[in-house]
Amino acid sequence: MASTAEGMKSLLEDRVVKSKWPARLDLAQSLSGLGLGLFMWTHLILVSSILFGKDAMLAITHVMEASFLTPDEAGGYTLIPALTAVGVFGLFIVHACLAMRKFPSDWKAHKTFRSQMAMMNHSDTNGWYTQVVTGFIMFFLGSVHLYIMATQADKIGPQLSADRMWTYGMWPLYLILLFAVEMHGAIGMYRLAIKWGVFDGKDPRATRKRLKVLKTLVTVFFLSLGLASLAAYVKIGIENVENNRVGERYVAGQEG
């Protein structure tokens, strides 16, 4: 009897120990995070084209819509940004579901985690908590933005985007989302580098210090770029109201 029970126990332990699923899910979380992080940095660089003027942003919009493939150069395939938004939304949901596995499961677990975090005051542990909070914010605000991008992809452009920011009141959402995304993305990329030891080299401790500095620089760079772009869209949005231009599509060369 005893040996049957022991046999069952070791069989169960074998199954638990040999399961590759936790490692697979971890890898999937890292890869989806890497994809989203790279997407977000690229996305902000494209959105910041407004800092070079309306024509620059219009040119980027046209490239994103592959308008060079259409006989009529002015309009492209808005289905491309719409489908991209749907794809990013999918990846976003998968990444959030995978991340939820590691959240404190109830209020008691959350309190224990918070008190241990305060006791340790370790920057990487604090960073993990920042990711939980910013991830939570992004789940709500990012979903609103992605839904709008998927359903109104034909209304992206220097003037229409500015109208969405100012006249249609999206700027407060973008402002909060910008801080959440940039903090979440930079901490996430830093954690990925540490976790998989990609830049470890001969002295992992020195690498960790350098990566921390890089993380801060990247956050400051993208936050500054985002804030400057947000201000540029808001300025155009206000001008559109003043000049009775709300809802008007920008035509290439109109500005200069």
- Residue 43 or residue 249: which is nearer to ligand HEM going by CB? 43
Residue 120: alpha-carbon gap to chain centroid = 28
Residue 130 Cβ vs ligand HEM, minimum distance, rounded to whole Å: 16
CB proximity list for 85: less than 8 A, separation 6 or greater: 146, 149, 150, 153
Q: What SS3 string covers 81-127? A: HHHHHHHHHHHHHHHHHHHHCCCCCCHHHHHHHHHHHHHHCCHHHHH
* Measured CA distances, 10 to 16, 18, 19, 22, 134 (Å): 10, 12, 14, 20, 42
DSSP 3-state of 73:
coil
Whether the Cβ atoms of residue 160 and residue 121 lie closer than 8 Å to each other: no
Distance CA 242, CA 14 (A): 71
Positions touching ligand HEM (CB under 6 A) are: 43, 47, 81, 84-85, 88, 92, 138, 142, 145-146, 149, 156, 161, 164-165, 170, 174, 177-178, 181, 226, 229-230
- Residue 161 or residue 194: which is nearer to ligand HEM going by CB? 161
Residue 164 Cβ vs ligand HEM, minimum distance, rounded to whole Å: 4
- Residue 131 or residue 229: which is nearer to ligand HEM going by CB? 229
- Residue 181 or residue 194: which is nearer to ligand HEM going by CB? 181
Which residue from 160, 166, 158 is spatially nearest to 54, judged by alpha carbons?
Answer: 158
Residue 223 Cβ vs ligand HEM, minimum distance, rounded to whole Å: 9
- Residue 38 or residue 252: which is nearer to ligand HEM going by CB? 38
- Residue 48 or residue 215: which is nearer to ligand HEM going by CB? 48
